[in-house]
Amino acid sequence: MANCLTLKKSNCKNCYKCIRHCPVKAIRFSGNQAHIIGNECILCGQCFVVCPQNAKEIVDETEKVRVLLQSGDPVVVSLAPSFIANYEGVGIESMRKALQKLGFYDVEETALGATVVKTEYERMLREEDRDVLISSCCHSINLLIQKHFPAALEYLADVVSPMQAHCKDIKSRIPGAKTVFIGPCVAKKDEAEHYEGIVDAVLTFEELTKWLEEENVVLEQEVQYDPRSKARLFPTTGGILKTMAQNAEGFSYLAIDGVENCIAALQDIIDGKIHKSFVEMSACVGSCVGGPVMEKYHHSSIRNYITVQNFAGKEDFEVSQPKAVALKKNFEYIERKAQMPSETEISNILRQMGKFKPSQELNCGSCGYNTCREKAIAIIQGKAEISMCLPYLKEKAENFSDVIVNNTPNGLIVLNDKLEVQQINTAARQIMNIRSANDILGDQVVRILDPTVFMQVKDHGLDVKDQLVYLAEYKRYVEQTIVYDADSHLIIGIMRDVTKEQSEREKKEKISRRTVEVADKVVDKQMRIVQEIASLLGETAAETKIALAKLKESIADE
pLDDT of 549? 72
pLDDT level of residue 9 (50, 70, 90 thresholds): confident
Average pLDDT, the chain: 89
The strand order across the sheet containing 132-134 reads 132-134, 277-282, 252-257
Task: List pLDDT tens digits, range 63-89.
Answer: 999 999 999 999 999 999 999 999 989
AA letter at 344: T
pLDDT level of residue 521 (50, 70, 90 thresholds): confident
**This prediction's pTM:** 0.72
Q: How far apart are CA 152 and CA 154, in angstroms?
A: 5
pLDDT level of residue 11 (50, 70, 90 thresholds): confident
Say whether pLDDT at 445 is over 90: yes
Of 26-30, 385-389, 466-470, 512-516, which one has max mean pLDDT?
Answer: 466-470
Q: How far apart are CA 46 and CA 284, in angstroms?
A: 9
Q: What is the H or E stretch that residue 251 is in? A: none
C-alpha separations of 215 from 81, 207, 211, 485 in Å: 24, 13, 6, 55
Q: What is the H or E stretch that residue 219 is in? A: none
Of 35-39, 158-162, 221-225, which one has max mean pLDDT?
Answer: 158-162
Q: How far apart are CA 29 and CA 26, in angstroms?
A: 10
Q: How far apart are CA 2 and CA 9, in angstroms?
A: 19
pLDDT of 522? 78
Task: At 404, give phi and psi (nearest 5°).
Answer: -65, -50
Say whether pLDDT at 185 is over 50: yes
Between 137-146, 197-206, 306-315, 379-388, the lowest mean confidence (pLDDT) is in 379-388
C-alpha separations of 413 from 200, 356, 496, 515, 542 in Å: 70, 33, 12, 42, 61
User: Domains of the chain: which residue ranges?
Assistant: 60-327, 408-497, 502-557
Query: Residues near 386 by Cβ (< 8 Å), separated by ≥ 6?
Result: 349, 352, 353, 379, 392
Instruction: List the helix and strand counts (H, then E) for the chain.
Output: 22, 16
Task: List pLDDT tens digits, range 244-286.
Answer: 999 999 999 999 999 999 999 999 999 999 999 999 999 999 9
What dihedral do alpha carbons 48, 54, 59, 62 form, nearest 10°?
Answer: 120
AA letter at 550: K
The three-state secondary structure class of 289 is: helix
| Superfamily for the 408-497 domain | PAS domain (3.30.450.20)
pLDDT of 293? 79
pLDDT of 518? 79
Q: How far apart are CA 392 and CA 280, in angstroms?
A: 42
DSSP state of 305: H
499 backbone φψ class: left, alpha, beta (φ>0; ψ -120 to 50): alpha
Q: How far apart are CA 146 and CA 130, in angstroms?
A: 19
Query: Residues near 98 by Cβ (< 8 Å), separated by ≥ 6?
Result: 212, 217, 218, 219, 220
Q: How far apart are CA 427 and CA 432, in angstroms?
A: 9
State the number of CA atoms in the 13 A half-sphere of 243 facing the CB.
31
pLDDT of 2? 47
pLDDT above 70 covers a percentage of the chain that reads: 92
Which string of b and e fits 156-165 if b means at least 16 CB within 10 Å?
Answer: bbebbbbbbb
Say whether pLDDT at 519 is over 50: yes
The three-state secondary structure class of 420 is: strand
Task: List pLDDT tens digits, range 112-128.
Answer: 999 999 999 999 999 99
Helices (H), 162-214: 162-173, 187-194, 205-214
Q: What is the H or E stretch that residue 12 is in? A: none
More confident position, 358 or 283: 283
Query: Residues near 116 by Cβ (< 8 Å), separated by ≥ 6?
Result: 162, 165, 166, 169, 319, 321, 322, 327
Say whether pLDDT at 6 is over 50: yes
Count other Cβ atoms within 10 Å, centred on residue 288.
Answer: 28
More confident position, 362 or 278: 278
- DSSP annotation string for 367-394: TSSSSHHHHHHHHHTTS--GGG-HHHHH
Q: How far apart are CA 281 and CA 285, in angstroms?
A: 10
Characterize the bridge pairing of strands 201-204 and 252-257: unpaired
